[in-house]
Structure 1
Amino acid sequence: MRKASRLFEIIQILKLSRTAVTAQSIADQLEVTVRSIYRDIAALQAMRVPIEGERGLGYILRPGFDLPPLMFTVEETEAIMLGLQMLERSGDNSLMRSAESVNRKIAGAVPEPLRRSLQSSTLYAWGSPPQMPKDFELEQVRTAIRNEQVLRIDYRDDRGEASRRMIKPLALIYYVQTVNVVAWCELRQAIRNFRSERIAQCVTQERFFKGEGDRLRALWTSGWANAAVKAASI
């Protein structure tokens, strides 16, 4: 997690808590070291965020402090809540945890009448989750996409043939039955779709393709237009 995101998360954790929160508790939630939390708290205090407390006892956010709110209408909030429910059936564990966190933040930020309306659970997204990889989390792929970092995968195609590929991951497509990894395949020298449940191993490499991601995604999406033109001409 980047520092800016972590500072925001610390403020949210303190804002939603009714009691003092220890640095260890915050570190556990954000999956960082306690030392990092101490540094972050000091940085926030230096920015005049009214955090009170000390090491070993816990921290509180003085009442009255808040970040500029994002104001949503009822319809917009319901759209967000339905989207979060759909994430919960995606099968992606880290996205499911993030959806729960967003739910809590929205509940803590909206006015009481709207909170009661949202908690009445009138919108549902049902269905079985798609097949997921067994040996790694899709969070690893999303991180590589953001960082524009090469992955090495061991892949088995629909004929059962195994191969090892070096790929530049570009996007994830969440279908009902599966999740596909869209990537530039160095073996084929072309963009390919890999079904995630057929990936036996995924290893992040110390190689990057900084600045290439947008160009490769544009190449990928341009193929959609070409396919549409061909279909229209038949």
Structure 2
Amino acid sequence: MTRQARLFAIAEYLRGRRTGVTAQAIAERFGVTVRTVYRDLDALRAGDLPLHAEQGRGGGYALDRHYSLPPVNLNAREAAVLIALGAYASRMRLLPFGETLEAALDKVRGALSVSAQRALLSVVEELKFVGVPALPAPAAVRKAVEEAWFTRRPLSVRYRRADGGSGERVVTVVGVIMERHTTLIHCVDSSTGEERHLRLDRVEQAALARSV
């Protein structure tokens, strides 16, 4: 078994377990050393797989139980419409979480049969949206905003003010407002408790804050 195949198999193995699995058990299951298992687990974490270690009886390595959702039964037409609307939102740069959206669209697209892809996706390509896209923001900024929003962790930002100067602050993202020309981050300033609307395109740098 190649390492790539083993990584996929370990991820699926953990996904199917309701309790944690020790590194020794994983090593025995896949016929490798414990050291190799640790390297594989590090590689899965680097690929954003939400692994954590559980302590105590029945503990071990486990996937976050909210990592994946139960199967959703969409018919081909419903899937095609979701793909069309998602692709529009991605092109218009309306959302900060572009990579997550693209990954979701790929999964929906991949669930369609070949015939459905040919028939329906060609139809939805005839759907035209006319509008002014939101101003662009660096990919690293959008990724940090997404992570802070969904995990409710504080976000450290360097922000370009309207007068051209820059300032730094730590905020908690509580929402995103999408106007016709601008995407606004609705947040709470950690030092003052005041609510603010920061323009996403004016955030020059963003990273999860170590402390508030």
Assess same fold via TM > 0.5: yes
2:90 corresponds to which residue? 88
Distance verdict in 2 for CA 1:123–1:54, change over 3 Å: farther
How many Å separate the matches in 2 of 1:174 and 1:161?
24
Deviation at 1:73, TM superposition (A): 4.3
Contact 2:80 2:120 in 1 (8 A): yes
Shift of the 127–43 alpha-carbon distance from structure 1 to 2, 3 Å rule, reads same
Which blocks of at least 5 consecutive residues in structure 2 are unaligned?
19-29, 33-68
Tell me what 2:108 maps to. 106
> What is the deviation of 1:203?
2.8
Q: 1:43 aligns with which of 14, 17, 27?
A: 14
C-alpha deviation, 1:95, in angstroms:
4.0
- The letter of the residue matching 1:181 is I
2:83 is paired with a residue of what secondary structure?
helix
The 8 Å contact of residues 132 and 178 in structure 1, kept in 2 or not, is answered as no
Partner of 2:182: 178
1:194 alignment partner, one of 190, 195, 198:
198
Distance in 1 separating the partners of 2:94 and 2:143: 8
Deviation at 1:93, TM superposition (A): 9.2
Separation (CA, whole Å) in 1 of partners of 2:100 and 2:178:
16
Tell me: CA distance 1:87–1:167, structure 2 relative to 1, closer, same or farther (3 Å): same
Greater CA drift, 186-195 or 37-46? 37-46
Counterpart for residue 157 of structure 1: 161
The answer (yes or no) to whether the contact 1:90–1:174 under 8 Å persists in 2 is: no
1:215 corresponds in structure 2 to none
Which amino acid is the alignment partner of residue 79 of structure 1? V
Q: Using the TM superposition, name which of 91-100 and 118-127 deviates more.
A: 91-100
2:135 paired with 1:131: yes
* One-letter code aligned to 1:107: R
Shift in Å, 1:167: 0.8
Distance in 1 (alpha carbons) for counterparts of 2:76 and 2:93: 28
Q: Which moved more, 1:165-174 or 1:133-142?
A: 133-142
Structure 2 counterpart of 1:58: none
How much does 1:171 deviate? 1.5
Give identity over the alignment, percent.
18
Q: What do residues 154-184 of structure 1 show as CA deviations (whole Å, max 9, x unaligned)? A: 2232233432212111122233322211100
**Mapped partners of 2:169, 2:187: distance in 1:** 10
**Deviation digits for residues 114-152 of structure 1 (CA, Å, limit 9, x no counterpart):** 333222122233555422234833121111111111112
Q: CA deviation at 1:94?
A: 7.7
Is residue 94–residue 178 contact of structure 2 (8 Å, CA) maintained in 1? no
Q: Secondary structure at the match of 2:210?
A: strand
1:207 aligns with 211
**2:83–2:109 contact (8 Å) kept in structure 1:** no
Instruction: State the AA in 1 paired with 2:83.
Output: M
Letter in 2 for 1:115: Q
CA-CA distance at 1:207 after TM superposition: 3.4
Q: In structure 2, what is the Cα distance between the partners aligned to 1:190 and 1:124?
A: 40
Deviates more, 1:127-136 or 1:114-123: 127-136
Alignment-mate amino acid for residue 43 of structure 1? L
Structure 2 CA distance for aligned equivalents of residues 185 and 44 of structure 1: 38
Structure 1 alignment gaps of length 5 or more: 1-19, 27-33, 48-52, 56-66, 209-234
The two structures have a TM-score, normalised by structure 1, of: 0.54
